[in-house]
Protein backbone atom coordinates (compact mmCIF):
# COMPACT_ATOMS: atom_id res chain seq x y z
CA UNK A 1 0.00 0.00 0.00
CA UNK A 2 0.94 3.65 -0.13
CA UNK A 3 3.48 4.86 2.38
CA UNK A 4 3.76 8.20 4.11
CA UNK A 5 3.96 11.07 1.65
CA UNK A 6 5.18 14.61 2.23
CA UNK A 7 4.94 17.73 0.13
CA UNK A 8 6.79 19.67 -1.02
CA UNK A 9 10.00 17.67 -1.22
CA UNK A 10 11.99 20.90 -1.22
CA UNK A 11 11.09 24.39 -0.05
CA UNK A 12 13.26 27.46 -0.30
CA UNK A 13 11.97 30.56 1.44
CA UNK A 14 13.24 33.91 2.57
CA UNK A 15 13.84 34.76 6.19
CA UNK A 16 10.66 36.08 7.80
CA UNK A 17 8.24 34.25 5.49
CA UNK A 18 5.56 31.75 6.46
CA UNK A 19 5.69 28.11 5.28
CA UNK A 20 3.42 25.09 5.44
CA UNK A 21 4.62 21.52 5.15
CA UNK A 22 2.16 18.73 4.49
CA UNK A 23 2.11 15.09 5.56
CA UNK A 24 -0.22 12.34 4.37
CA UNK A 25 0.14 9.31 6.67
CA UNK A 26 -0.51 5.65 5.98
CA UNK A 27 -4.24 5.02 5.86
CA UNK A 28 -5.58 3.83 9.19
CA UNK A 29 -2.60 4.98 11.25
CA UNK A 30 -3.90 6.97 14.17
CA UNK A 31 -0.53 8.17 15.47
CA UNK A 32 1.36 10.85 13.54
CA UNK A 33 4.70 12.41 14.39
CA UNK A 34 6.80 15.30 13.14
CA UNK A 35 10.58 15.29 13.49
CA UNK A 36 13.34 17.63 12.42
CA UNK A 37 16.66 16.31 11.14
CA UNK A 38 19.71 18.49 10.88
CA UNK A 39 22.74 17.51 8.83
CA UNK A 40 24.68 14.68 10.44
CA UNK A 41 22.13 14.16 13.21
CA UNK A 42 19.31 11.80 13.98
CA UNK A 43 15.70 12.96 13.83
CA UNK A 44 14.54 15.07 16.77
CA UNK A 45 10.96 14.93 17.96
CA UNK A 46 8.69 17.93 17.42
CA UNK A 47 5.06 16.90 17.96
CA UNK A 48 2.82 13.84 18.26
CA UNK A 49 -0.84 13.54 17.25
CA UNK A 50 -3.23 10.86 18.38
CA UNK A 51 -6.19 11.26 16.07
CA UNK A 52 -7.01 14.93 15.65
CA UNK A 53 -5.43 16.21 18.83
CA UNK A 54 -1.85 17.20 19.49
CA UNK A 55 -1.14 14.86 22.39
CA UNK A 56 2.43 16.08 22.89
CA UNK A 57 3.97 19.24 21.43
CA UNK A 58 6.88 19.38 23.84
CA UNK A 59 9.44 19.19 21.03
CA UNK A 60 8.32 22.33 19.20
CA UNK A 61 11.23 24.78 19.60
CA UNK A 62 9.11 27.93 20.07
CA UNK A 63 5.73 29.45 19.33
CA UNK A 64 6.59 30.11 15.68
CA UNK A 65 5.97 26.41 15.07
CA UNK A 66 2.46 24.99 14.99
CA UNK A 67 0.87 21.85 13.56
CA UNK A 68 -2.66 20.69 12.91
CA UNK A 69 -4.42 17.48 11.94
CA UNK A 70 -8.06 18.55 11.65
CA UNK A 71 -9.61 15.32 10.36
CA UNK A 72 -7.24 12.83 11.94
CA UNK A 73 -5.42 12.07 8.71
CA UNK A 74 -3.41 14.71 6.83
CA UNK A 75 -1.27 16.99 8.98
CA UNK A 76 0.28 20.38 8.28
CA UNK A 77 3.31 21.79 10.04
CA UNK A 78 3.28 25.59 9.98
CA UNK A 79 6.27 27.81 10.61
CA UNK A 80 5.84 31.55 11.00
CA UNK A 81 8.54 34.21 10.57
CA UNK A 82 11.08 31.65 9.41
CA UNK A 83 14.70 32.00 10.50
CA UNK A 84 17.87 30.63 8.92
CA UNK A 85 18.21 28.25 11.86
CA UNK A 86 14.95 26.57 10.82
CA UNK A 87 16.72 25.11 7.76
CA UNK A 88 16.57 21.31 8.09
CA UNK A 89 14.78 18.25 6.77
CA UNK A 90 11.33 17.94 8.33
CA UNK A 91 10.19 14.34 8.62
CA UNK A 92 6.72 12.99 9.17
CA UNK A 93 6.03 9.49 10.48
CA UNK A 94 2.93 7.48 11.27
CA UNK A 95 2.25 4.31 13.21
CA UNK A 96 -0.76 2.14 14.00
CA UNK A 97 -0.62 3.34 17.61
CA UNK A 98 1.73 4.96 20.08
CA UNK A 99 4.82 2.92 20.94
CA UNK A 100 4.87 0.89 17.72
CA UNK A 101 7.38 1.13 14.90
CA UNK A 102 7.08 4.33 12.95
CA UNK A 103 6.98 4.62 9.17
CA UNK A 104 8.65 7.68 7.77
CA UNK A 105 7.97 9.85 4.76
CA UNK A 106 10.76 11.08 2.47
CA UNK A 107 10.92 14.43 4.22
CA UNK A 108 10.72 18.08 3.19
CA UNK A 109 14.04 19.88 2.91
CA UNK A 110 13.47 23.46 4.09
CA UNK A 111 16.05 26.09 3.28
CA UNK A 112 15.66 29.58 4.70
CA UNK A 113 17.79 32.17 2.91
CA UNK B 1 16.35 11.05 30.00
CA UNK B 2 16.20 8.15 27.58
CA UNK B 3 18.90 8.21 24.92
CA UNK B 4 20.78 6.21 22.33
CA UNK B 5 24.51 6.31 21.64
CA UNK B 6 25.87 4.99 18.38
CA UNK B 7 29.32 4.23 17.16
CA UNK B 8 30.71 7.23 15.35
CA UNK B 9 31.29 6.98 11.66
CA UNK B 10 32.02 7.02 8.96
CA UNK B 11 32.66 3.33 8.49
CA UNK B 12 34.28 2.17 5.27
CA UNK B 13 34.42 -1.52 4.39
CA UNK B 14 35.24 -3.66 1.42
CA UNK B 15 32.53 -5.79 -0.14
CA UNK B 16 31.96 -9.09 1.71
CA UNK B 17 33.51 -7.76 4.93
CA UNK B 18 31.84 -8.28 8.31
CA UNK B 19 29.94 -5.31 9.71
CA UNK B 20 29.29 -4.29 13.30
CA UNK B 21 27.74 -0.96 14.25
CA UNK B 22 27.56 -0.50 18.01
CA UNK B 23 24.50 0.91 19.73
CA UNK B 24 23.92 1.32 23.46
CA UNK B 25 20.98 2.88 25.20
CA UNK B 26 20.11 4.57 28.46
CA UNK B 27 16.54 4.17 29.60
CA UNK B 28 14.40 3.62 32.66
CA UNK B 29 12.74 0.31 31.99
CA UNK B 30 12.80 -1.86 28.89
CA UNK B 31 12.20 -0.06 25.64
CA UNK B 32 11.57 -1.44 22.18
CA UNK B 33 14.67 -1.08 20.02
CA UNK B 34 14.95 -0.39 16.31
CA UNK B 35 17.43 0.02 13.50
CA UNK B 36 16.47 2.35 10.68
CA UNK B 37 18.38 2.80 7.42
CA UNK B 38 18.52 5.88 5.21
CA UNK B 39 19.75 5.25 1.68
CA UNK B 40 21.10 8.22 -0.30
CA UNK B 41 18.29 10.55 -1.28
CA UNK B 42 15.62 8.51 0.50
CA UNK B 43 13.68 8.59 3.76
CA UNK B 44 14.22 6.46 6.84
CA UNK B 45 13.19 2.82 6.46
CA UNK B 46 12.68 0.40 9.28
CA UNK B 47 15.37 -2.28 9.01
CA UNK B 48 14.64 -4.43 12.06
CA UNK B 49 13.31 -4.31 15.60
CA UNK B 50 13.25 -6.13 18.93
CA UNK B 51 10.67 -5.55 21.62
CA UNK B 52 12.04 -7.46 24.61
CA UNK B 53 15.28 -8.72 26.11
CA UNK B 54 17.08 -11.49 24.18
CA UNK B 55 14.92 -10.93 21.09
CA UNK B 56 16.83 -10.99 17.83
CA UNK B 57 15.64 -8.80 14.98
CA UNK B 58 16.73 -9.71 11.47
CA UNK B 59 16.16 -8.51 7.92
CA UNK B 60 18.11 -8.50 4.64
CA UNK B 61 21.01 -10.35 6.27
CA UNK B 62 21.28 -7.84 9.11
CA UNK B 63 20.81 -8.91 12.72
CA UNK B 64 20.70 -7.27 16.13
CA UNK B 65 20.10 -8.82 19.55
CA UNK B 66 18.51 -6.96 22.46
CA UNK B 67 20.98 -7.32 25.33
CA UNK B 68 19.53 -6.11 28.60
CA UNK B 69 22.70 -6.83 30.61
CA UNK B 70 24.81 -4.55 28.47
CA UNK B 71 21.95 -2.24 27.33
CA UNK B 72 23.03 -2.79 23.75
CA UNK B 73 21.54 -3.50 20.34
CA UNK B 74 24.52 -3.84 18.00
CA UNK B 75 23.85 -4.22 14.28
CA UNK B 76 25.74 -6.97 12.42
CA UNK B 77 25.95 -8.35 8.92
CA UNK B 78 28.19 -11.17 7.85
CA UNK B 79 28.97 -10.01 4.32
CA UNK B 80 28.19 -6.45 3.24
CA UNK B 81 27.43 -5.37 -0.30
CA UNK B 82 27.95 -2.07 -2.08
CA UNK B 83 24.17 -1.61 -1.96
CA UNK B 84 24.31 -1.53 1.86
CA UNK B 85 26.00 1.88 1.72
CA UNK B 86 23.70 4.14 3.74
CA UNK B 87 23.28 5.85 7.10
CA UNK B 88 22.11 3.59 9.91
CA UNK B 89 20.17 4.89 12.94
CA UNK B 90 19.54 3.10 16.20
CA UNK B 91 16.38 4.16 18.02
CA UNK B 92 14.23 3.36 21.03
CA UNK B 93 10.69 3.94 22.24
CA UNK B 94 8.36 2.73 24.96
CA UNK B 95 4.79 1.54 24.48
CA UNK B 96 3.56 4.63 26.31
CA UNK B 97 6.03 7.06 24.74
CA UNK B 98 5.05 9.90 22.51
CA UNK B 99 8.28 9.93 20.52
CA UNK B 100 11.17 7.83 19.31
CA UNK B 101 14.73 8.65 20.41
CA UNK B 102 17.39 8.31 17.73
CA UNK B 103 21.14 8.05 17.74
CA UNK B 104 23.18 10.42 15.59
CA UNK B 105 23.52 7.86 12.80
CA UNK B 106 26.48 5.94 11.39
CA UNK B 107 27.41 6.36 7.75
CA UNK B 108 28.52 3.13 6.08
CA UNK B 109 30.34 3.07 2.76
CA UNK B 110 31.03 -0.27 1.12
CA UNK B 111 33.64 -0.32 -1.66
CA UNK B 112 33.76 -2.95 -4.39
Residue A1 has pLDDT above 60, yes or no: no
A6-12: long-range contacts, CB 8 A cutoff, minimum separation 24: A6/A90, A6/A91, A6/A92, A6/A105, A6/A106, A6/A107, A6/A108, A7/A108, A8/A108, A9/A106, A9/A107, A9/A108, A9/A109, A10/A108, A10/A109, A10/A111, A11/A108, A11/A109, A11/A110, A11/A111, A12/A111, A12/A113
Taking residues B47-52, what's their average pLDDT? 95
- Judged by CB atoms closer than 8 Å, whether chains meet at A33 and B100 is answered as yes
Reported as a single tens digit per residue, the pLDDT across B4-16 is 999 888 999 999 9
Residue A84 DSSP SS3: helix
Q: Which residue of B has its CA nearest to A89?
A: B43
Reported as a single tens digit per residue, the pLDDT across A21-63 is 999 999 999 999 999 999 888 999 999 999 888 889 999 999 9
pLDDT the model gives residue B41:
82
Calculate the alpha carbon distances from A51 to A75, B33, B106 in Å: 10, 25, 33
Q: Which residue did the predictor score with more confidence, A101 or B58?
A: B58
Q: Rounded mean pLDDT of chain B?
A: 94
Residues of chain B contacting A99 with CB distance shorter than 8 Å: 32, 93-97
- Model confidence band, residue A87 (pLDDT cutoffs 50, 70, 90): very high
CA distance B101 to chain A (A): 7
Reported as a single tens digit per residue, the pLDDT across A96-106 is 988 888 999 99
- Judged by CB atoms closer than 8 Å, whether chains meet at B91 and A42 is answered as yes
Amino acid sequence: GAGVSQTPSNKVTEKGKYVELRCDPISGHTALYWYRQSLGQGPEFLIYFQGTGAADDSGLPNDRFFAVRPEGSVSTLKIQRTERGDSAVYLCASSPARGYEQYFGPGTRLTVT
Amino acid sequence: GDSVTQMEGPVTLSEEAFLTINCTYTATGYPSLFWYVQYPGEGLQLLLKATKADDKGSNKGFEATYRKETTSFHLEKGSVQVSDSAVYFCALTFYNNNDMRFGAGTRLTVKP
